[in-house]
Amino acid sequence: MIIITQPHATETQLEHIIARIREFGLDAQVNRGASRVIIQVLGSVELAREKPLAAMPGVEAVVPVLKPYKLAAYEFRGGASSVPIGNVSVGRTERVTVISGPCSVESEEQILSIARTVKKAGASILRGGAFKPRTSPYSFQGLGEDGLRFLAQARERTGMPVITEIMDARDLPIIEKYADCLQVGARNMQNFSLLKEVGRSRLPVMLKRGFSATINDLLMSAEYILKEGNMNVLLCERGIRTFESAARYTLDLNAVPILKSRTHLPVVVDPTHGIGLREFVPQMSLAAVAAGADALMIEVHDSPELAKSDGEQALTPDIFEEMIPRLRAVAAAVGRQL
């Protein structure tokens, strides 16, 4: 942390700032410039981050020079990590993983039928929601444990590991019974109690970026999970809120290379929510792979107009199947494979 004083900061203010830094158990290295004094604060990151030094008289700016996250930082591993989801490993290798399935699990037949379809086309992980976060309390809220059971049955029959959303820390034991990977949704990205809880799970966690969370916020939320000891975290870009209303969200593909330079964690992209319009999901899927995504999460529904949620954006099985060879070609073009 570097503190820059105002041009006319007094000696008394300066002494006060330095005294405070020392009280905090930190060290201060003072450099007097022509019109300003620059103070380097040395010591433990955790201590330094906490202190509201910008509130002190005479201070113009506080420049944090250390990243606020440690375990999530690229430097912590010095390379990319891979995260195992059942028998599938995501990240680090040149493989691009396709995660697919319906928004919600609606019935035993539905999830099994879609699972078979997407597996055949090329997906290797099955998604499906049993507990659904819905903006309206009057909307379909998911099948709960039944949904989890149907998911697990689909895994038995297809061999695909399953990922499903956790909305409430109290549901962890039951979800752990059935699922291979936990998903923390965008609306819960800063539900810190939930983050701590999944940080103590044995299951990997896919953390979706809040639709108005910065890339740094996302990494800080990942840090919450990592700090509890669960190192199997995947980050998922799924669109942010902007002024543009032509699409449901603005898929922020800038986040892909930026995340990959800052963290060792695998980066997943969800083009389905990121654009929210079925007809454009294939192009955005191709773009995500070209930008460097380690995995894609794509909603497929065999009868979107009957879907209990997100019908407008789910791909039909034939669009999904038709897209896979193009994904393979783009993956190959950037030195990866599907």
| Nearest alpha carbon to residue 213 among 234, 191, 193, 189 | 189
Binder among 135, 156, 173, 202 for its own copies (CB under 8 A)? 135
Cα 112 versus chain centre, distance: 27
The nearer residue to its own copies, 86 or 271, going by C-beta atoms, is: 271
Sheet of strand 37-42: strand arrangement: 27-32, 37-42, 2-5, 59-63
Work out whether 275 is an interface residue with its own copies (CB under 8 A).
Answer: yes
Residue 221 belongs to what H/E stretch? Answer: helix 215-227
The nearer residue to its own copies, 160 or 220, going by C-beta atoms, is: 220
Instruction: Name the residue type at position 165.
Output: E
CB of 163 to its own copies, least distance (A): 19
Structure tokens at 26: 């930190």
Contacts of 164 (CB under 8 A, 6+ apart): 105, 127, 128, 129, 130, 131, 147, 148, 151, 175, 178, 179, 181, 182, 183
Contacts of 81 (CB under 8 A, 6+ apart): 91, 92, 231, 264, 265, 266
Total residues at interface with its own copies (CB under 8 A): 106
Binding to its own copies (CB under 8 A) within 216-235 occurs at 216-217, 220-221, 223-224, 227
Binding to its own copies (CB under 8 A) within 102-131 occurs at none
Binder among 190, 231, 319, 321 for its own copies (CB under 8 A)? 190
CB of 268 to its own copies, least distance (A): 15
Binder among 15, 22, 50, 322 for its own copies (CB under 8 A)? 50
The nearer residue to its own copies, 64 or 159, going by C-beta atoms, is: 64
Work out whether 12 is an interface residue with its own copies (CB under 8 A).
Answer: no
| Nearest alpha carbon to residue 253 among 205, 201, 304, 215 | 215
x/- track of binding to its own copies for residues 248-267 (CB under 8 A): --xxxxxxxxx--x------
Binding to its own copies (CB under 8 A) within 301-320 occurs at 304-312
Considering only the C-alpha atoms of the chain, give the largest distance between any 2 of them, rounded to a whole number of Å.
76
Binding to its own copies (CB under 8 A) within 18-37 occurs at 20, 29, 31, 33-34, 36
The nearer residue to its own copies, 61 or 157, going by C-beta atoms, is: 61
d(CA 235, CA 335): 22
Binding to its own copies (CB under 8 A) within 199-218 occurs at 210-212, 214-217
d(CA 327, CA 338): 7
Work out whether 150 is an interface residue with its own copies (CB under 8 A).
Answer: no
The nearer residue to its own copies, 55 or 156, going by C-beta atoms, is: 55
